């Protein structure tokens, strides 16, 4: 294979170096393209564009491979299941934490789990039916108002403190927004509980009765957070990088990530999937009609939870979540008709030429909502749970970019297709 690409344009021939990644993937380095040719590249949706080099997550979409710092995601799902907090440390700091590192980090998560009282008080002024993702994004930015010392992170000690605050308090914010929406009193975090158990406690305990946390529910939530922890340059992570590239603080960058994740084409899809399955269950739609509508170019309907920009094979996370749904339902003795409908829909799609031709498979959102529902998380909190899981990935990419020598602000070009030179016309002449 060649080390350079040759471009011939306007009678000029230039060579563009090819960069090769750790797994042999290759990319044409066009950093000199405009200087040498006056031309830019055109790539809507950045389908063909690598915007950075990163050592955090590797995905092979053709083979359905997903690795965190080189470790296949499947290895985080076997018993005894690693804890989400270990994966947080691995993604952000690049190594599996030692016993000592994990204890220090866990203690910091505990000491930073309480919301500032001013932040807590804001909930009283938010409508009870406000979208939880709007609350989460706004509250992450509110943290910037009360933790001014964290706006400029100039040393590793302070960075660890702000990371611990975000990772710990994102749960408290999420749980308080749920309690507010139900008109229930806030349940403060319990310093004796592990990460996921504490979130479930804040969501479902009452002042006079602690929520009984079953191990399989705690494990299922731990699995969900781990599987959502990072996914290289997805829309929300690239958003965090773009905001962070302007040297914006970590609160503002993650708040922007929450906003991007909210979209139904991205993290909001897990809500759309369950709402689609519920419509089918109530008889308003049939699985066969879903497939027909999804194929119909004149119909805006898309089969939520299907398709992916990178996976042209099964999303490995979907496979794991599908098995987890079955397992948790069996252990808890529940049956969920939506799971049976999901299985039927998947079977129809995987045998339909429209989906086969386009290599559309179930993605992480197709089963995550069903598992969240199985463990009692309400539908409007699904994408918030996705955000809790993805927060370490956003932080890891923000940190990796900030540590890059000579990092530049992300500012792409465009192809202008508007008016050519025009003149202002005074009102009396219009």
Candidate list 142, 201, 228, 308, residue with the active-site label: 308
320 binds ligand SDX (CB under 6 A): no
308 binds ligand SDX (CB under 6 A): yes
CB 293 within 8 A of CB 301: yes
Secondary structure (DSSP) of 74-124:
GGGSSSSPPPHHHHHHHHHHSSPPPHHHHHHHHHHHHHT-SPPHHHHHHGG
Q: Please say if 155 is a catalytic residue.
A: no
Choice between 119 and 360, CB closer to ligand SDX: 360
First to last CA, the chain: 61
Count of positions (residues) in the chain: 430
Residue 133 CB partners (closer than 8 Å, separation 6+): 258, 259, 261, 262, 268, 383, 384, 387
The helix or strand, by DSSP H or E, that contains position 145, with its residue range, turns out to be: helix 132-146
Q: Please say if 308 is a catalytic residue.
A: yes
Candidate list 219, 230, 352, 365, residue with the active-site label: 365
How many residues touch ligand SDX under the rule CB under 6 A: the total is 21
Smallest gap, in angstroms, from Cβ of residue 24 to ligand SDX? 21
Which of 163, 217, 189 has its CA nearest to residue 331?
A: 217
Of the listed pieces 6-14, 106-114, 166-174, 260-268, which binds ligand SDX according to CB under 6 A?
260-268
Binding mask 108-127 for ligand SDX (x = CB under 6 A): --------------------
363 binds ligand SDX (CB under 6 A): yes
Of the listed pieces 80-88, 242-250, 299-307, 408-416, which binds ligand SDX according to CB under 6 A?
299-307
Of the listed pieces 61-69, 216-224, 246-254, 261-269, which binds ligand SDX according to CB under 6 A?
261-269
Residues 279-298 that bind ligand SDX (CB under 6 A): 294
Residues 218-257 that bind ligand SDX (CB under 6 A): 231, 234
Smallest gap, in angstroms, from Cβ of residue 263 to ligand SDX? 8
Phi, psi of 153 (to 5 degrees): -100, 105
Here the tokens at position 343 are: 């299985």
Smallest gap, in angstroms, from Cβ of residue 98 to ligand SDX? 29
Task: Give the whole-angstrom CA distance, residue 361 versus residue 375.
Answer: 25
Select the residue interacting with ligand SDX from 86, 161, 218, 365 (CB under 6 A).
365
Which of 213, 225, 191 has its CA nearest to residue 76?
A: 225
Here the tokens at position 424 are: 């202002």
The helix or strand, by DSSP H or E, that contains position 6, with its residue range, turns out to be: strand 4-9
213 binds ligand SDX (CB under 6 A): no
Phi, psi of 165 (to 5 degrees): -60, -45
Of the listed pieces 36-44, 206-214, 306-314, 334-342, which binds ligand SDX according to CB under 6 A?
306-314
Which residues are designated catalytic?
308, 365
């Amino acid at each position: 294979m060649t080390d350079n690409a040759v471009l011939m344009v306007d009678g000029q021939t230039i060579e563009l170096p090819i960069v090769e990644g750790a797994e042999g993937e290759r990319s044409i380095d066009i950093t000199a393209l405009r200087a040498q040719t006056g031309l830019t590249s055109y790539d809507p949706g950045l389908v063909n564009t690598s915007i950075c080099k990163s050592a955090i997550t590797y995905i092979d979409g053709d083979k359905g491979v997903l690795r965190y710092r080189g470790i296949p995601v499947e290895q985080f799902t076997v018993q005894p299941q690693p804890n989400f907090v270990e994966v947080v440390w691995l993604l952000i700091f690049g190594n599996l934490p030692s016993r000592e590192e994990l204890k220090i980090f866990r203690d910091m998560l505990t000491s930073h789990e309480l919301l500032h009282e001013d932040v807590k008080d804001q909930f009283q002024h938010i409508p009870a039916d406000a979208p939880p993702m709007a609350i989460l994004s706004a509250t992450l930015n509110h943290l910037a108002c009360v933790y001014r010392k964290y706006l400029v992170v100039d040393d590793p000690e302070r960075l660890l403190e702000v990371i611990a605050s975000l990772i710990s308090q994102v749960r408290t914010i999420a749980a308080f927004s749920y309690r507010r929406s139900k008109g229930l009193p806030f349940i403060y975090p319990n310093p004796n509980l592990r990460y996921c158990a504490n979130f479930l406690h804040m969501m479902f305990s009452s002042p006079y009765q602690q929520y009984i946390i079953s191990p399989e529910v705690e494990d299922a939530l731990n699995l969900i957070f781990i599987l959502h922890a990072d996914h290289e340059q997805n829309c929300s992570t690239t958003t965090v990088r773009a905001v962070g590239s302007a040297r914006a603080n970590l609160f503002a960058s993650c708040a922007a990530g929450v906003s991007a994740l909210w979209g139904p084409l991205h993290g909001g899809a897990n809500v759309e999937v369950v709402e689609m399955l519920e419509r089918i269950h109530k008889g308003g739609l049939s699985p066969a009609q879903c497939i027909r509508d999804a194929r119909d170019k004149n119909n805006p309907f898309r089969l939520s939870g299907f398709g992916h920009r990178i996976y042209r094979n099964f999303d490995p996370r979907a496979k794991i979540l599908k098995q987890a749904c079955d397992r948790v339902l069996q252990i808890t003795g529940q049956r969920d008709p939506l799971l049976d409908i999901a299985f039927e829909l998947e079977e129809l799609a995987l045998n339909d030429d429209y989906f086969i031709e386009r290599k559309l498979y179930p993605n992480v959102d197709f089963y995550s909502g069903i598992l969240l529902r199985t463990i009692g998380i309400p539908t409007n909190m699904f994408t918030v749970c996705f955000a809790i899981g993805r927060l370490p990935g956003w932080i890891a990419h923000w940190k990796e970019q900030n540590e890059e020598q000579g990092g530049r602000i992300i500012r792409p070009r465009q192809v202008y297709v508007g008016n050519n030179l025009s003149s202002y016309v005074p009102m009396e002449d219009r």
